[in-house]
Every structure is written in C-alpha cells, then in structure tokens.
Structure 1
C-alpha cells in the first residue's frame, strides 16, 4: 500500500474566527466520504498538499486548514489572540461551518498536541484519531529541545550554531529568541531557529542568513507557545487518560524532535490505542517508513469504524 496521489482541493475559503484572524480552509476528496480534519505541526508550520496523501480520496472528505497566524491564514505570523484555547475553538468553528457532526482527527508533532487537547475538550465530536510524533509539551520535553542537557548532546555542532546565532542577552535561550524574533533581525534569527529543528528532524538545513516569512512564522509562534508551556492548563496525559476513542499512534524510533518515550506514555493511558513503532523512522511525516505507517493506520481505523 503506497501513498495516495496528489489531488487538487475541491474547495478553498477563508473562515473569519474573530480577533482579526481568518483561517485558510480547504476540502478535498469525496464530499460524501468520512470526514477527517488534519492538524499540522509547529506551531506555525501550516498545512501542505502532501498531507492529503495519507487518505483514500474515494473514501474520505479531507479538511485541511492553517492554524491562526500560519500558512495562508491571516495575518501571517500573528501571535496576538493566539493560544491553545483559541485553536480549540477554531476547530469547533470549522466543524460547525462545514456541518460535520463527528470527524476523525489526524495530527503530528504539535498537531498531535492540539489533537489531544481537542480530545480532552470535545471528545463527543471525534470518531477516531491518528497521531504521529507525539509531543506532550511537558517541561521535560521542552528541556530536551532547548537546553544543553537534551538533544544538544546528540547534535553538539548544531546546538553550538544555535547558541552562537542567538540574540544577545542573558536570559534562557527560548526567551532570547522570542525577543529577537520581534526585532529588526527577526528573519536571521528565524533561520537559525528552524535549522536546529531541521537537524533534529533529520531534514536538510539552509545556509545562515535571512529566513523566509514562513520560517519567521514558525519560529515566532513556537517561541510564543513554548514560553507559555503550550498554554496547556493540565497535563495532557492526565486529561486524556481512559478515553475510549480509537487511536492509532505512529512514532519513529529515531525521532530526535519528540523522543519516543512520549508515545509509550500516551499509549499506556489510552486503553483503546495501538502503538506502531517505525524502527528506522524519524520525525517527519514524509519519512518513508513513517508515511507508510500512517497510511496503514488510517486504513485500519476506517475498517474498524465500518465494523
């Protein structure tokens, strides 16, 4: 079973959600098919047409959207009125606007974080979930990413580059980047920030210099959210424990962005979950092994729903 072919979206529109934000939303696949909403990573990553390739377009009604301030949503890069609570209410506004009673939720990395928060807040609207690269956004998970005691020990040269290119100051690395990403050299700091994440994801990095607006969006939103602990009020493992929603978890054993311990911890509190390890898989959904595991997971959940 391979990835499904690229298809154009059937419909694209902007949905006003208040506080000056408009969300880019698109639908593709079968309008009468099983609805599935796709939650992109980041925060600030934006959706991609490649995310449609995990679903059979004859069977699924795919809803992709860019979260507040991300991708094609407006205004780009905005962190005003942009918290986890806002994102959860945005999901509900999309579901209601599309007249969907219940849907499958598919999310990876920060998208998995958002999906779990949605499960805690609105479980009645979820038929099933496929989660990749579990990110619980606990203090230990952020320490892994942004202190010298975590992934820095595996990638010392890349960590050194992140430190050397950091905005000046004496605060925590996360705080210094947050401040620098608001100033005149924001695009340069964004490139350094995103290169560190690309290194951990085993993806190509870019030459030092000014980053794109997309890189700035990602860096600005990540520092905004992570300084606030993701705006998570109660631990996700605690608020989701015992849920009976069917869940397929896909996690690469070589995921250096989100250490695999997080996937096991989630599986152990969700009695109706299946944990699918990808032995040589990294963090990216486009990692060949991870991508195939995601297609398989979606197919299994679809079969379970029909049974």
Structure 2
C-alpha cells in the first residue's frame, strides 16, 4: 500500500543568493495559500528527491523544499566553504522571509532532524510544529557507532567495502582518514573514498537492502557532495557549541507541537538517541515503528509520518 500523496510538480522554483558564494535552489508545491511546511533533507549533502513532495496533502499544505548548500541543484556544488549548521539555519530563515511566511511547520529526518532542532531552537517563534524522524544529534557516540565500530558488527560484509580505501595504519579514526581523502586534490582518490562512504550508508539504511538506492549513492555526482559534506560536518562536530547542545536546549522548543518517529532497527541513527530526546521532552509525541530501519521510504516510517502530518 502506498501512503504517499500523488506525484506533483512545483508551482514555483528559484534560486536564493544567501552569501557571496552560495545560491540555494528552492521549490514550492501544493497550495500557495495553504499551511506552510518546509522539508529539510538528510545528509548533510543528500539533496532533494521528487518523492519528498508527496508526504503532505497538496490541497492543505504550502510545501517548501530546498537543496542545502553544496548539494542537489544549489551552487557551487560540493562546496565546503561557508557550509556549517548555522549557515543552513540562516538560509532557512532567509527562505521564510523571502516567501513572507510568518510561521511554518518543519519536517526533517536524520540530519534533517538535527537541522530542524537547531533551527527551531534558534528561531522558536518561526515554528508552528515539528515532525522529526530518525533522530541524529551528531554526538561522538553516534558518529563512533556508525563510522568507527558498532554498526560494523551487524553489517560486516558492507563494512569491508566501506573501509577498503583506508590503509590499516589509519583505521583508528575512519572519519579523519576519509576527510583527508575526500578533500584530496586527486579526483580519483576523492571518488573512491566518496563512493565507499556513501554506499556504506545506503547499504545499511533499510532492513532489506535497496539495490536502487545503493546504485544512486554510488554515482559520482551524488556521492561526491554527500560524502564530502557529511564528513566535513562530522569532523567539525556539526559546528555545535557542545555535543549535547541540541538536547540541552529542549526547553527553548518544549512548547512547539512535535512528533518524533523512529525506526526500531535504525542502524544509521539508532533508537537510543531518539529515546534520550523523548525522555528529555515527554510532551512530544513519540512513535517507535517496530518493523523499520532508517529510511524515510520504509513503509512503517512513511505511514507514521504521513499520518502525523496530515491528521
């Protein structure tokens, strides 16, 4: 059963110059006079997919989506300069102002949930509701689990391919080793590292591996932005003041109606993080989807999100 709304095309697309260096692509779909909602994609560096428009009733919602700095249709591509969490928070607010929206709902999963929390805590008066999925707060234990040791015990076959570009003597810190290669001036070195990094995430995102997803993530263009930008954020601790910043600042957004959706078997962003947020923020509705992993497109996740947003 498909829980998504029918495919739609934007009624408006454009670019917004947010700095001397960056222009971000954005699009508007659905009802221009409807309830505003902005979709924050994952990664960082993941870019938009057409299906992202379909989580919202197009008759009810004014749906805004954008490619974050350095990815998708935004320019310049795969650029790391002027690309931080707080630059993106500023971009979201600039889009809101550009579109003359007073308040909007914010929908984000994985890295999108990180960015949604950071934005809401920075601009609580701009947010009418939060829809969060696959909670990620960019703490050391979360990064270590997925990129150093932990998830490796569950996916040893995919792990072998992930670590293949890294020599034995550099394997005590995979994020640093990948960052060195992803910022190399040698295109072949960057490409090999980017594909290994991106395919590792694609291979672990669903309970049943998705060959189409893995193929997309292994593409040169997608993997370059995805891997470079993710690794850039991770090696810099998400540019947060402290690793518990998003958890410690829940009081700033406690009043915002919020739904948290989490897959029980999420390998990329394990349920412990969502559970810690839930314990800190019991007022938010918490939904554990028992038969799902990480991906937005898994049936149980899709059903829970569509139901929450459109009820």
TM class by smaller structure = over 0.9
Q: Contact (CA 8 Å) 1:169, 1:176: kept in 2 or not?
A: no
Secondary structure class of the residue paired with 1:18: coil
CA separation of 1:204 and 1:166: change in aligned 2, threshold 3 A? farther
Secondary structure class of the residue paired with 2:306: helix
In structure 2, C-alpha distance between the alignment counterparts of 1:210 and 1:58, rounded to whole Å: 36
Secondary structure class of the residue paired with 1:243: coil
Bigger mean CA offset, 262-271 vs 162-171 = 162-171
Secondary structure class of the residue paired with 1:62: strand
Q: Contact (CA 8 Å) 2:107, 2:130: kept in 1 or not?
A: yes
In structure 1, C-alpha distance between the alignment counterparts of 2:69 and 2:167, rounded to whole Å: 26
Using the TM superposition, give the Cα deviation of residue 167 of structure 1 relative to its aligned residue in structure 2, in angstroms: 6.4
CA separation of 1:169 and 1:11: change in aligned 2, threshold 3 A? farther
Q: Contact (CA 8 Å) 2:163, 2:196: kept in 1 or not?
A: no
| Aligned mate of 2:240, from 217, 232, 240 | 232
Partner of 2:182: 181
Partner of 1:218: 226
Using the TM superposition, give the Cα deviation of residue 33 of structure 1 relative to its aligned residue in structure 2, in angstroms: 0.1
Bigger mean CA offset, 268-277 vs 121-130 = 268-277
| Aligned mate of 2:293, from 282, 285, 290 | 282
Q: Contact (CA 8 Å) 2:199, 2:218: kept in 1 or not?
A: no
Q: Contact (CA 8 Å) 1:245, 1:272: kept in 2 or not?
A: no
Q: Contact (CA 8 Å) 1:243, 1:271: kept in 2 or not?
A: no
CA separation of 1:280 and 1:72: change in aligned 2, threshold 3 A? same
In structure 2, C-alpha distance between the alignment counterparts of 1:161 and 1:284, rounded to whole Å: 21
In structure 2, C-alpha distance between the alignment counterparts of 1:180 and 1:131, rounded to whole Å: 32
The Cα offsets for residues 137-167 of structure 1, whole Å up to 9 and x where unpaired, read as: 111100111112x111111222222222236
Q: Is 1:204 aligned to residue 210 of structure 2? A: yes
Partner of 2:304: 293
Q: Contact (CA 8 Å) 1:188, 1:210: kept in 2 or not?
A: no
| Structure 2: runs of 5+ lacking an equivalent | none
CA separation of 1:232 and 1:256: change in aligned 2, threshold 3 A? same
Give the TM-score of the pair, scaled to structure 1.
0.93
Partner of 1:303: none
Partner of 1:304: none
CA separation of 1:81 and 1:167: change in aligned 2, threshold 3 A? farther
Q: Contact (CA 8 Å) 1:244, 1:271: kept in 2 or not?
A: no
CA RMSD of aligned residues (A): 1.8
In structure 2, C-alpha distance between the alignment counterparts of 1:117 and 1:245, rounded to whole Å: 14
> How many equivalent pairs are there?
298
In structure 1, C-alpha distance between the alignment counterparts of 2:142 and 2:52, rounded to whole Å: 25
In structure 1, C-alpha distance between the alignment counterparts of 2:168 and 2:196, rounded to whole Å: 14
Partner of 1:3: 4
Q: Is 1:252 aligned to residue 263 of structure 2? A: yes
In structure 2, C-alpha distance between the alignment counterparts of 1:111 and 1:50, rounded to whole Å: 16
In structure 2, C-alpha distance between the alignment counterparts of 1:247 and 1:230, rounded to whole Å: 23
Q: Contact (CA 8 Å) 2:138, 2:237: kept in 1 or not?
A: yes
Give the TM-score of the pair, scaled to structure 2.
0.92
